[in-house]
Amino acid sequence: MSATVVGGVTITHPEREVFGEGGPTKGEVAAYYEAVAPWMLPELRDRPLSVVRCPQGATGQCFFQKHHADSLGPDVKAVTLEEKDGEAAEYIYVDDVRGVLELVQMNTLEFHPWGSRIDAPDQPDRLIFDLDPASGVAWKAVVAGAREIRERLAAHGLESFVRSSGGKGLHVVAPIRRGPSWVQVKAFCETLADELVADKPRAYIAEASKAKREGMIFIDWLRNTRGATSVTGWSLRARPGAPVAMPLHWDEIARLKTGGAFDLKRALKRAKGLEADPWEGVATLKQKLP
């Protein structure tokens, strides 16, 4: 069996093309995560985590995994959390690059943390708005939507950050000082989304159940729920072309063409050339939910 060592972690079958023929290999995925770990870990570490594992590669069957197993690797850690039914279960978290790479060895491609940290899972430390444009919505409109949310958050004294999802849309994230419950945070986000929809009912929709979304952007505020996740910055997506969810400066989003504008290669180049985190301040801002 072929193997290589990346960041001290044995990666088997490094030559396997995990994004289809001619695409990045498992070894390149491991090298990617090792290279971007300094930028990725501040957001990812010490949060309950779901991973998307793709044993047959991104073109095969992938699955979300949230529960811990010893087989994931010695640096993939477990945190005991209460589930909806009141039972305790062990969830995954990582706090270093070895944990990330061991998950890659287990064919993880995507990393999806909670909006709270393991030491206080019931107290979210950020708000997230996920903008999901219907097919055919112009990128300009997605950019406008993200800016609109940014302005509305700013009106409440909340600075926010933006990332491309690696898919169709953008995520707007505002860090908050811990304290409010999930229910309070979700209510705040729902109100903000509803106000946006009330002002521009032809552009935005905030109800997950509504079928009629043609030409509109769904403002998904439901990520602000205990146990809900969103993809972390710098995570690959198990989609064609190996796109990456990318933390951006606000003035960068207009220059993209889609939420999938960054792929593995472009993200790697960005990681190596970056002088400062585009999300600098996200962990240190002291913002209070109104």
Q: Summarize as ranges the residues that interact with Mn ion (CB under 5 A).
A: 130, 132, 169
**Cβ closest to ligand ATP, residue 168 vs residue 270:** 168
Please classify residue 207 by burial: count the beta carbons closer than 10 Å to its beta carbon, then call 0-12 exposed, 13-18 middle and 19+ buried.
middle
Range list of H helices, the chain = 26-44, 97-105, 139-155, 182-199, 264-273
- Separation between Cα atoms, residue 96 and residue 238, nearest integer Å: 22
Shortest Å distance, C-beta 130 to Mn ion: 4
Rounded to a whole number of angstroms, the minimum distance from the CB of residue 167 to ligand ATP is 2
Please state, in angstroms and as integers, the Cα–Cα distance from residue 124 to each residue in 68, 121, 204, 227, following that order: 21, 7, 25, 10
Residue carrying structure tokens 């990128």: 139
Q: Which is nearer to Mn ion, 98 or 168 (CB)?
A: 168
Number of chain residues interacting with ligand ATP (CB under 6 A): 13
Please state the closest distance from residue 115 (CB atom) to ligand ATP, in A. 10
Q: How far is the CB of 229 from ligand ATP (least distance, A)?
A: 4
- Smallest gap from Cβ 231 to ligand ATP, in A, equals 4
Binder of residue 64, out of ligand ATP, Mn ion, none (CB less than 5 to 8 A by kind): ligand ATP
CA distance 17 to 53: 15
CB of 42 or CB of 167, closer to ligand ATP: 167
* Residue 47 is a binding residue for ligand ATP (CB under 6 A): no
Question: What's the CA gap between 244 and 74, in Å, rounded?
Answer: 26
Q: Which residue's CB is nearer to ligand ATP, number 98 or number 171? A: 171
Please, is 126 exposed, middle or buried when counting C-beta atoms within 10 Å of its C-beta (0-12, 13-18, 19+)?
buried
| Pairing between β-strand 77-82 and β-strand 108-113 as defined by DSSP bridges | unpaired
Question: At 264, which amino acid appears?
Answer: L
In whole angstroms, how close is the CB of 128 to ligand ATP at the nearest point?
9
Quick check: 63 binds ligand ATP (CB under 6 A)? no
* Of the residues 259, 262, 279, 282, which one makes contact with ligand ATP according to CB under 6 A: 259
CA 137 – CA 217 distance, rounded (Å): 8
Is residue 217 within 8 A of residue 205, CB to CB? The reply is yes
Per-residue contact string for residues 130-169; x = within reach of ligand ATP by CB under 6 A: x-x--------------------------------x-xxx
Min CB(220)–Mn ion separation in Å: 6
247 near ligand ATP, rule: CB under 6 A: no
- C-alpha torsion sign, points 78, 84, 232, 69: positive
Side chain identity, residue 240? P
| Ranges within 17-36 binding ligand ATP (CB under 6 A) | none
Q: Considering only residues 162, 176, 230, 268, which one is a binding residue for ligand ATP as defined by CB under 6 A? A: 230
Q: Rule CB under 6 A: which residues touch ligand ATP?
A: 50, 64, 112, 130, 132, 165, 167-169, 229-231, 259
